[in-house]
């Protein structure tokens, strides 16, 4: 309402989408794992990023879709606000903890060993790319799209 910049990550991105009149949709199957995205903006690295969700945010009216995963929108921007469907804040330890505590992981066709292997390969590069993503949001919050 007051254009105070907001950055929403995963559920936060979904909540931001709802607040901006976009909404969410359930996925037929959870999107879990370190998954590359298709970026439409050079400030958004293509990952792979940790995806861990069973609902998908919609791009709100008047927002720009900046990236997409196989399941749907991955990043949107509207004014100083950015919604991100994945987890740029996640490291290998967090990904592995979530996998160990997730009784539905086999339904996604994954094991804890799969997540551990993916995390070992992708968590550190994703951490470095997260700084680019956060810088893009900060720059955009100062100069809204």
Domain boundaries, the chain: 7-139
Q: How many CB atoms lie within 10 A of CB 116?
A: 15
Tens digits of residue pLDDT in 52-84: 999 999 999 999 999 999 999 999 999 999 999
Q: Is the pLDDT of residue 144 over 70?
A: no
Percent of all residues in the chain with a pLDDT value above 70, rounded to a whole number: 96
How much is the mean pLDDT over the chain? Answer: 94
Q: Is the pLDDT of residue 141 over 90?
A: no
pLDDT of residue 15: 98
With cut-offs at 50, 70 and 90, classify the pLDDT of residue 145.
Answer: low
Q: Give the integer Cα–Cα distance in Å for 28 and 136.
A: 31
Pair of tokens at residue 120:
């070992």
Report helix, strand or coil for 44. Answer: coil
CATH architecture assigned to 7-139: 3-Layer(aba) Sandwich (3.40)
Q: Please give the model's pTM, rounded to 2 decimal places.
A: 0.92
pLDDT of residue 3: 73
What is the helix (H) or strand (E) element at residue 13, kind and residue range? helix 11-19
Q: Give the integer Cα–Cα distance in Å for 133 and 77.
A: 12
pLDDT greater at residue 121 or residue 3: 121
């Amino acid at each position: 309402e007051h254009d105070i910049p907001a950055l929403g990550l995963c559920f936060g991105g979904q909540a931001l989408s709802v607040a901006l009149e976009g909404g969410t949709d359930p996925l037929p199957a959870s999107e879990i794992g370190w998954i590359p995205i298709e970026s439409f903006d050079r400030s958004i690295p293509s990952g792979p990023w940790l995806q861990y969700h069973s609902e998908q945010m919609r791009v709100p009216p008047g927002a720009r879709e900046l990236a997409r995963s196989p399941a749907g929108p991955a990043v949107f921007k509207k004014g100083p606000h950015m919604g991100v469907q994945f987890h740029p804040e996640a490291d290998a330890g967090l990904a592995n903890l979530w996998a160990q505590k997730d009784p539905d992981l086999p339904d996604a066709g994954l094991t804890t060993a799969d997540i551990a292997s993916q995390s070992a390969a992708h968590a550190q590069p994703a951490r470095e790319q997260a700084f680019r993503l956060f810088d893009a949001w900060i720059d955009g919050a100062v100069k809204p799209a």
